Amino acid sequence: MRPLLPLLLLAACSVEPEQPGQVSADEARELNEAAEMLDANSIDLNEVEEDAEGNEA
């Protein structure tokens, strides 16, 4: 048991666990990158509605 004691004490001193539902820094970065990608590929809804009516954009 003595050889494991330092590891147990170190584990007990770790930072606070994340709250449920909280986003980590890596997840936040990935979400931001995904949002940027969606914004870059977005289209103007007005153009789509005009094309559906047969009008030229």
Q: Is 18 helix (H, G, I), strand (E, B) or coil?
A: coil
Q: Rounded CA gap, 57 and 51, in Å?
A: 6
Res 31: pLDDT:
95
Res 33: pLDDT:
95
Res 20: pLDDT:
80
Res 54: pLDDT:
63
pLDDT greater than 70 at residue 52: no
CA angle 45, 46, 52 (to 5 degrees): 90
pLDDT greater than 60 at residue 57: no
Model confidence pLDDT, tens digit, residues 1-50: 567 777 766 666 656 666 788 888 999 999 999 999 988 888 877 777 77
